[in-house]
Protein backbone atom coordinates (compact mmCIF):
# COMPACT_ATOMS: atom_id res chain seq x y z
CA UNK A 1 0.00 0.00 0.00
CA UNK A 2 2.76 2.46 0.96
CA UNK A 3 4.68 1.76 -2.25
CA UNK A 4 1.59 2.29 -4.39
CA UNK A 5 0.63 5.56 -2.73
CA UNK A 6 4.20 6.89 -2.78
CA UNK A 7 4.39 6.09 -6.50
CA UNK A 8 1.21 8.04 -7.14
CA UNK A 9 2.38 10.86 -4.89
CA UNK A 10 5.65 11.04 -6.80
CA UNK A 11 3.69 11.52 -10.01
CA UNK A 12 1.50 14.18 -8.45
CA UNK A 13 4.37 16.26 -7.06
CA UNK A 14 4.67 17.87 -10.47
CA UNK A 15 1.10 19.17 -10.39
CA UNK A 16 0.09 22.78 -10.47
CA UNK A 17 0.64 24.66 -7.22
CA UNK A 18 -3.07 25.32 -6.79
CA UNK A 19 -6.36 23.76 -7.84
CA UNK A 20 -9.02 26.03 -9.30
CA UNK A 21 -12.35 25.24 -10.85
CA UNK A 22 -11.95 25.89 -14.60
CA UNK A 23 -14.55 27.13 -16.98
CA UNK A 24 -15.14 25.62 -20.41
CA UNK A 25 -17.24 26.95 -23.26
CA UNK A 26 -18.83 23.57 -23.97
CA UNK A 27 -19.80 21.76 -20.79
CA UNK A 28 -22.98 19.98 -21.84
CA UNK A 29 -22.99 16.62 -23.63
CA UNK A 30 -24.76 16.31 -26.95
CA UNK A 31 -26.95 13.35 -27.85
CA UNK A 32 -26.44 11.52 -31.11
CA UNK A 33 -29.54 10.94 -33.18
CA UNK A 34 -29.06 7.16 -33.49
CA UNK A 35 -29.95 6.21 -29.90
CA UNK A 36 -29.73 2.44 -29.45
CA UNK A 37 -32.76 1.38 -27.44
CA UNK A 38 -31.33 -2.06 -26.72
CA UNK A 39 -28.53 -0.45 -24.70
CA UNK A 40 -30.97 1.24 -22.35
CA UNK A 41 -32.16 -0.20 -19.07
CA UNK A 42 -35.91 -0.55 -18.36
CA UNK A 43 -35.65 2.44 -16.01
CA UNK A 44 -34.08 4.53 -18.78
CA UNK A 45 -36.70 3.57 -21.33
CA UNK A 46 -39.54 4.21 -18.88
CA UNK A 47 -38.34 7.69 -17.97
CA UNK A 48 -37.06 8.55 -21.47
CA UNK A 49 -33.51 9.20 -20.30
CA UNK A 50 -30.79 9.74 -22.91
CA UNK A 51 -28.73 6.77 -24.02
CA UNK A 52 -25.28 7.56 -22.54
CA UNK A 53 -23.56 5.47 -25.24
CA UNK A 54 -24.55 8.11 -27.79
CA UNK A 55 -23.55 11.22 -25.84
CA UNK A 56 -20.76 13.33 -27.29
CA UNK A 57 -18.64 16.25 -26.14
CA UNK A 58 -17.07 17.53 -22.95
CA UNK A 59 -18.96 17.81 -19.67
CA UNK A 60 -17.45 19.66 -16.72
CA UNK A 61 -18.80 18.55 -13.36
CA UNK A 62 -19.70 21.63 -11.28
CA UNK A 63 -18.03 22.06 -7.92
CA UNK A 64 -20.16 21.45 -4.85
CA UNK A 65 -20.59 23.40 -1.65
CA UNK A 66 -18.34 22.82 1.34
CA UNK A 67 -19.27 19.94 3.65
CA UNK A 68 -22.24 20.48 5.95
CA UNK A 69 -21.17 20.18 9.60
CA UNK A 70 -23.01 17.75 11.83
CA UNK A 71 -26.08 19.07 13.57
CA UNK A 72 -26.35 18.69 17.31
CA UNK A 73 -23.89 18.77 20.18
CA UNK A 74 -21.31 16.06 20.75
CA UNK A 75 -19.05 15.64 23.74
CA UNK A 76 -15.34 16.20 23.24
CA UNK A 77 -12.98 14.48 25.67
CA UNK A 78 -9.40 15.75 25.92
CA UNK A 79 -6.79 14.62 26.51
CA UNK A 80 -7.39 11.47 24.52
CA UNK A 81 -4.92 8.73 23.68
CA UNK A 82 -5.45 6.71 20.51
CA UNK A 83 -3.56 4.17 18.45
CA UNK A 84 -3.23 5.38 14.87
CA UNK A 85 -3.26 3.42 11.59
CA UNK A 86 0.40 2.45 11.94
CA UNK A 87 0.08 1.41 15.56
CA UNK A 88 1.57 4.53 17.13
CA UNK A 89 0.17 5.61 20.50
CA UNK A 90 -0.70 9.31 20.22
CA UNK A 91 -2.01 11.58 22.97
CA UNK A 92 -4.00 14.62 21.85
CA UNK A 93 -4.48 17.43 24.36
CA UNK A 94 -5.48 20.38 22.17
CA UNK A 95 -7.46 20.66 18.92
CA UNK A 96 -7.43 24.44 18.60
CA UNK A 97 -4.97 24.45 15.66
CA UNK A 98 -5.44 21.54 13.26
CA UNK A 99 -3.75 20.49 10.03
CA UNK A 100 -5.51 17.74 8.04
CA UNK A 101 -3.39 16.71 5.06
CA UNK A 102 -3.67 14.08 2.34
CA UNK A 103 -3.42 13.65 -1.41
CA UNK A 104 -7.16 13.69 -2.09
CA UNK A 105 -8.36 16.43 0.27
CA UNK A 106 -10.58 14.00 2.16
CA UNK A 107 -9.23 14.74 5.62
CA UNK A 108 -9.94 18.48 5.64
CA UNK A 109 -13.48 17.82 4.40
CA UNK A 110 -13.92 15.30 7.19
CA UNK A 111 -12.70 17.75 9.83
CA UNK A 112 -15.16 20.35 8.51
CA UNK A 113 -18.04 17.87 8.52
CA UNK A 114 -17.24 16.96 12.12
CA UNK A 115 -17.64 20.63 13.07
CA UNK A 116 -13.97 21.60 13.45
CA UNK A 117 -13.50 23.56 10.22
CA UNK A 118 -12.77 26.77 12.10
CA UNK A 119 -9.83 25.05 13.80
CA UNK A 120 -7.96 24.35 10.56
CA UNK A 121 -4.93 26.64 10.22
CA UNK A 122 -3.45 25.53 6.89
CA UNK A 123 -4.17 23.36 3.88
CA UNK A 124 -2.66 21.35 1.05
CA UNK A 125 -3.34 22.12 -2.61
CA UNK A 126 -5.92 19.31 -2.56
CA UNK A 127 -8.08 21.03 0.05
CA UNK A 128 -10.14 23.19 -2.28
CA UNK A 129 -12.99 24.02 0.09
CA UNK A 130 -14.08 27.62 -0.27
CA UNK A 131 -13.85 28.32 3.47
CA UNK A 132 -10.18 27.31 3.42
CA UNK A 133 -9.18 29.43 0.43
CA UNK A 134 -7.38 32.05 2.51
CA UNK A 135 -5.40 29.58 4.63
CA UNK A 136 -1.68 29.16 3.91
CA UNK A 137 -0.69 26.22 1.71
CA UNK A 138 1.78 23.94 3.51
CA UNK A 139 2.80 21.84 0.52
CA UNK A 140 5.25 22.72 -2.23
CA UNK A 141 5.93 21.34 -5.70
CA UNK A 142 2.53 19.75 -5.58
CA UNK A 143 2.23 17.44 -2.58
CA UNK A 144 5.56 17.68 -0.77
CA UNK A 145 5.21 18.77 2.85
CA UNK A 146 6.96 22.01 3.75
CA UNK A 147 7.98 21.31 7.33
CA UNK A 148 9.11 24.88 7.98
CA UNK A 149 5.73 26.25 6.88
CA UNK A 150 3.94 23.65 8.99
CA UNK A 151 5.97 24.32 12.13
CA UNK A 152 5.47 28.08 11.68
CA UNK A 153 1.71 27.55 12.02
CA UNK A 154 2.21 25.96 15.45
CA UNK A 155 -0.39 23.22 14.98
CA UNK A 156 -1.59 21.38 18.06
CA UNK A 157 -2.72 18.35 16.03
CA UNK A 158 -1.78 16.94 12.64
CA UNK A 159 -4.02 14.35 10.96
CA UNK A 160 -2.27 12.95 7.88
CA UNK A 161 -1.67 9.84 5.80
CA UNK A 162 1.23 8.45 3.78
CA UNK A 163 -0.15 9.65 0.45
CA UNK A 164 1.92 12.79 0.99
CA UNK A 165 5.42 13.12 2.38
CA UNK A 166 8.30 12.52 2.20
CA UNK A 167 8.44 10.11 5.18
CA UNK A 168 11.25 12.07 6.81
CA UNK A 169 9.03 15.17 6.88
CA UNK A 170 6.43 13.32 8.95
CA UNK A 171 9.20 11.97 11.18
CA UNK A 172 10.49 15.52 11.71
CA UNK A 173 7.03 16.77 12.63
CA UNK A 174 6.52 13.96 15.11
CA UNK A 175 9.97 14.58 16.61
CA UNK A 176 9.01 18.23 17.18
CA UNK A 177 6.47 17.11 19.76
CA UNK A 178 3.34 17.79 17.71
CA UNK A 179 0.77 14.97 17.98
CA UNK A 180 0.76 13.35 14.52
CA UNK A 181 -2.07 10.90 13.83
CA UNK A 182 -1.62 8.71 10.75
CA UNK A 183 -4.79 7.37 9.13
CA UNK A 184 -5.51 4.85 6.38
CA UNK A 185 -4.63 6.32 2.95
CA UNK A 186 -7.09 4.06 1.10
CA UNK A 187 -10.21 5.75 -0.29
CA UNK A 188 -13.54 4.32 -1.33
CA UNK A 189 -17.14 3.90 -0.27
CA UNK A 190 -16.22 0.91 1.88
CA UNK A 191 -13.47 2.93 3.61
CA UNK A 192 -15.58 5.95 4.56
CA UNK A 193 -16.90 4.90 7.95
CA UNK A 194 -13.56 3.73 9.34
CA UNK A 195 -11.77 6.86 8.10
CA UNK A 196 -14.38 9.23 9.53
CA UNK A 197 -14.25 7.47 12.90
CA UNK A 198 -10.44 7.59 12.91
CA UNK A 199 -10.46 11.35 12.41
CA UNK A 200 -13.18 11.82 15.02
CA UNK A 201 -11.26 9.73 17.54
CA UNK A 202 -8.21 11.94 17.01
CA UNK A 203 -10.39 14.96 17.76
CA UNK A 204 -11.73 13.38 20.94
CA UNK A 205 -15.27 13.13 19.58
CA UNK A 206 -16.00 9.46 18.85
CA UNK A 207 -19.77 9.95 19.10
CA UNK A 208 -19.61 12.60 16.39
CA UNK A 209 -17.63 10.17 14.25
CA UNK A 210 -20.32 7.53 14.57
CA UNK A 211 -23.05 10.06 13.75
CA UNK A 212 -21.22 11.36 10.68
CA UNK A 213 -20.38 7.86 9.46
CA UNK A 214 -24.06 6.90 9.75
CA UNK A 215 -25.12 10.06 7.90
CA UNK A 216 -22.65 9.46 5.08
CA UNK A 217 -23.65 5.81 4.75
CA UNK A 218 -27.34 6.72 4.53
CA UNK A 219 -26.71 9.48 1.98
CA UNK A 220 -24.46 7.25 -0.10
CA UNK A 221 -27.01 4.42 -0.21
CA UNK A 222 -29.65 6.88 -1.41
CA UNK A 223 -27.30 8.27 -4.07
CA UNK A 224 -26.40 4.80 -5.35
CA UNK A 225 -30.08 3.89 -5.54
CA UNK A 226 -30.74 6.98 -7.64
CA UNK A 227 -27.75 6.36 -9.89
CA UNK A 228 -28.93 2.79 -10.46
CA UNK A 229 -31.97 4.24 -12.25
CA UNK A 230 -29.66 5.95 -14.76
CA UNK A 231 -27.31 3.05 -15.53
CA UNK A 232 -27.84 1.53 -19.00
CA UNK A 233 -28.29 -2.19 -19.50
CA UNK A 234 -24.88 -2.23 -21.18
CA UNK A 235 -22.46 -0.43 -18.82
CA UNK A 236 -20.27 2.34 -20.15
CA UNK A 237 -16.62 1.38 -20.60
CA UNK A 238 -14.43 4.02 -18.99
CA UNK A 239 -10.89 5.03 -18.11
CA UNK A 240 -9.56 7.68 -15.73
CA UNK A 241 -6.63 9.63 -17.17
CA UNK A 242 -4.33 11.81 -15.07
CA UNK A 243 -2.80 14.67 -17.02
CA UNK A 244 -0.78 17.75 -16.07
CA UNK A 245 0.65 20.29 -18.46
CA UNK A 246 1.68 19.62 -22.03
CA UNK A 247 4.66 17.37 -21.26
CA UNK A 248 5.06 13.80 -20.12
CA UNK A 249 2.74 13.82 -17.13
CA UNK A 250 0.03 11.64 -18.61
CA UNK A 251 -1.07 8.45 -16.88
CA UNK A 252 -3.81 5.85 -16.68
CA UNK A 253 -5.02 5.33 -13.13
CA UNK A 254 -5.31 1.60 -12.66
CA UNK A 255 -6.70 -0.58 -9.93
CA UNK A 256 -6.35 0.52 -6.30
CA UNK A 257 -5.94 4.20 -7.15
CA UNK A 258 -9.47 5.28 -6.23
CA UNK A 259 -10.45 5.69 -9.87
CA UNK A 260 -11.81 2.15 -10.03
CA UNK A 261 -13.99 2.74 -6.98
CA UNK A 262 -15.39 5.91 -8.57
CA UNK A 263 -16.06 4.37 -11.97
CA UNK A 264 -17.70 1.27 -10.53
CA UNK A 265 -19.86 3.34 -8.17
CA UNK A 266 -21.20 5.05 -11.28
CA UNK A 267 -22.18 1.67 -12.68
CA UNK A 268 -19.53 1.78 -15.41
CA UNK A 269 -16.74 -0.68 -16.24
CA UNK A 270 -13.18 0.38 -15.44
CA UNK A 271 -11.19 -0.87 -18.40
CA UNK A 272 -7.84 -0.43 -16.64
CA UNK A 273 -8.84 -2.85 -13.91
CA UNK A 274 -10.48 -5.19 -16.41
CA UNK A 275 -7.19 -5.39 -18.31
CA UNK A 276 -5.15 -5.94 -15.17
CA UNK A 277 -3.52 -2.50 -14.95
CA UNK A 278 -2.51 -1.64 -11.41
CA UNK A 279 -1.20 1.59 -9.97
CA UNK A 280 -0.12 4.34 -12.34
CA UNK A 281 0.57 3.39 -15.96
CA UNK A 282 1.97 5.69 -18.70
CA UNK A 283 -0.83 6.72 -21.03
CA UNK A 284 1.01 6.14 -24.29
CA UNK A 285 -0.72 5.61 -27.62
CA UNK A 286 -0.43 1.82 -27.48
CA UNK A 287 -1.95 1.60 -24.00
CA UNK A 288 -4.83 3.94 -24.83
CA UNK A 289 -5.73 2.19 -28.06
CA UNK A 290 -5.67 -1.14 -26.20
CA UNK A 291 -8.05 0.25 -23.57
CA UNK A 292 -10.24 2.05 -26.10
CA UNK A 293 -12.62 3.65 -23.57
CA UNK A 294 -15.89 5.12 -24.74
CA UNK A 295 -15.75 7.76 -21.99
CA UNK A 296 -12.75 9.37 -20.30
CA UNK A 297 -12.73 10.82 -16.80
CA UNK A 298 -10.11 13.34 -15.80
CA UNK A 299 -9.52 16.20 -13.36
CA UNK A 300 -10.66 19.69 -14.32
CA UNK A 301 -7.43 21.53 -13.55
CA UNK A 302 -5.44 18.83 -15.29
CA UNK A 303 -7.57 19.26 -18.40
CA UNK A 304 -7.10 23.01 -18.25
CA UNK A 305 -3.34 22.63 -17.87
CA UNK A 306 -3.07 20.61 -21.08
CA UNK A 307 -4.95 23.26 -23.11
CA UNK A 308 -8.38 21.83 -22.57
CA UNK A 309 -10.18 19.25 -24.67
CA UNK A 310 -8.21 20.20 -27.76
CA UNK A 311 -4.93 19.59 -25.97
CA UNK A 312 -6.09 16.27 -24.55
CA UNK A 313 -7.23 15.03 -27.96
CA UNK A 314 -3.85 16.03 -29.41
CA UNK A 315 -2.02 13.60 -27.14
CA UNK A 316 -0.96 10.38 -28.89
CA UNK A 317 -3.66 7.74 -28.87
CA UNK A 318 -6.50 9.75 -27.36
CA UNK A 319 -8.22 10.71 -30.61
CA UNK A 320 -8.12 7.09 -31.77
CA UNK A 321 -10.21 5.84 -28.84
CA UNK A 322 -13.98 5.68 -28.94
CA UNK A 323 -14.07 8.51 -26.40
CA UNK A 324 -11.70 10.56 -28.51
CA UNK A 325 -13.77 10.10 -31.63
CA UNK A 326 -16.85 11.36 -29.77
CA UNK A 327 -14.82 13.84 -27.69
CA UNK A 328 -16.58 12.25 -24.71
CA UNK A 329 -14.76 13.52 -21.65
CA UNK A 330 -16.03 14.21 -18.13
CA UNK A 331 -13.87 16.62 -16.11
CA UNK A 332 -14.24 16.44 -12.32
CA UNK A 333 -13.05 19.10 -9.83
CA UNK A 334 -9.65 18.04 -8.51
CA UNK A 335 -10.65 18.25 -4.85
CA UNK A 336 -13.61 15.89 -5.40
CA UNK A 337 -12.54 13.39 -8.02
CA UNK A 338 -10.99 10.71 -5.80
CA UNK A 339 -11.75 12.00 -2.32
CA UNK A 340 -14.90 10.09 -1.26
CA UNK A 341 -15.31 10.88 2.47
CA UNK A 342 -18.21 12.93 3.88
CA UNK A 343 -19.35 14.21 0.47
CA UNK A 344 -19.38 10.89 -1.33
CA UNK A 345 -23.09 11.08 -2.14
CA UNK A 346 -22.99 14.61 -3.53
CA UNK A 347 -19.91 13.86 -5.59
CA UNK A 348 -21.27 10.63 -7.05
CA UNK A 349 -24.56 12.27 -8.01
CA UNK A 350 -22.80 15.21 -9.65
CA UNK A 351 -20.47 12.96 -11.65
CA UNK A 352 -23.29 10.57 -12.54
CA UNK A 353 -25.42 13.41 -13.91
CA UNK A 354 -22.51 14.49 -16.09
CA UNK A 355 -21.84 10.93 -17.19
CA UNK A 356 -25.40 10.03 -18.10
CA UNK A 357 -26.63 13.41 -19.33
CA UNK A 358 -29.16 13.83 -16.54
CA UNK A 359 -30.78 17.19 -15.87
CA UNK A 360 -30.86 18.52 -12.30
CA UNK A 361 -34.63 18.05 -12.03
CA UNK A 362 -34.47 14.28 -12.58
Note the pLDDT tens digit of each residue in 286-317.
999 999 999 999 999 999 999 999 999 999 99
Quick one: 92 and 182 in the same domain? yes
Q: 301 in a domain, yes or no?
A: yes
User: What's 160's domain CATH number?
Assistant: 3.40.50.1980
* DSSP per residue, 329-360: EEEE-HHHHTT-GGGHHHHHHHHHHHHHT--T
Q: 106 in a domain, yes or no?
A: yes
pTM for this model (two decimals): 0.87
Q: 362 in a domain, yes or no?
A: no
For every one of its 362 residues, what pLDDT tens digit does the chain have, with 9 covering 90 and above? 444 444 455 444 444 333 333 444 445 555 443 334 345 555 555 567 899 999 999 999 999 999 999 999 999 999 999 999 999 999 999 999 999 999 999 999 999 999 999 999 999 999 999 999 999 999 998 789 999 999 999 999 999 999 999 999 999 999 999 999 999 999 999 999 999 999 999 999 999 999 999 999 999 999 999 999 999 999 999 999 999 988 789 999 987 778 999 999 999 999 999 999 988 999 999 999 999 999 999 999 999 999 999 999 999 999 999 999 999 999 999 999 999 999 999 999 999 999 999 987 66
Cβ-based neighbour number of residue 1 at 10 Å: 11
Q: 54 in a domain, yes or no?
A: yes
Residue 131 backbone phi and psi in degrees, to 5? -70, -10
Quick one: 106 and 133 in the same domain? yes
Quick one: 116 and 179 in the same domain? yes
Q: 13 in a domain, yes or no?
A: no
Quick one: 137 and 260 in the same domain? no
What separation in angstroms does the CA of 343 have from each of 105, 123, 192? 11, 18, 10
- Spatial distance between the Cα atoms of 176 and 20, rounded to a whole number of angstroms: 33
Quick one: 31 and 94 in the same domain? no
Q: 248 in a domain, yes or no?
A: yes
Q: In the listed set 216, 238, 254, which residue is the last one of a domain according to the structure?
A: 216
- Spatial distance between the Cα atoms of 239 and 263, rounded to a whole number of angstroms: 8
Q: What is the DSSP letter of 165?
A: B
Helix (H, G, I), strand (E, B) or coil at 22: coil
Quick one: 109 and 200 in the same domain? yes
Quick one: 85 and 196 in the same domain? yes
Helix (H, G, I), strand (E, B) or coil at 52: helix
Q: 8 in a domain, yes or no?
A: no
Quick one: 258 and 313 in the same domain? yes
Q: 16 in a domain, yes or no?
A: no
Quick one: 331 and 245 in the same domain? yes
Q: In the listed set 155, 182, 216, which residue is the last one of a domain according to the structure?
A: 216
Quick one: 263 and 348 in the same domain? yes
CB of 280 within 8 A of CB of 253? yes
- Spatial distance between the Cα atoms of 123 and 128, rounded to a whole number of angstroms: 9
Chain center to CA of 339: 3
Quick one: 174 and 97 in the same domain? yes
What separation in angstroms does the CA of 250 have from each of 133, 242, 312, 321? 28, 6, 10, 16
Q: What is the DSSP letter of 123?
A: B
Domain range for 145 is: 80-216
Count how many domains the chain has.
2
Amino acid sequence: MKTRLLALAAVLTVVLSACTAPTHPDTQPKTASDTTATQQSPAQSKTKLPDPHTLTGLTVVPDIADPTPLEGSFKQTLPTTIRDFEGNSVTVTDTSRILAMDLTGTLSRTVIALGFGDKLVGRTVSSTEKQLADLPVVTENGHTLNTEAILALKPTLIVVDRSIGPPEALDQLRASGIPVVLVDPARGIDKNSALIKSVANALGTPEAGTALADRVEKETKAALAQIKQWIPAQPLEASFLYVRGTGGVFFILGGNEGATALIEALGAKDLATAQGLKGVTPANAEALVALNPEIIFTMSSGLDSTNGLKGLLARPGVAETRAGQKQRVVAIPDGLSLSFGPQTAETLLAVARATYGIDEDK
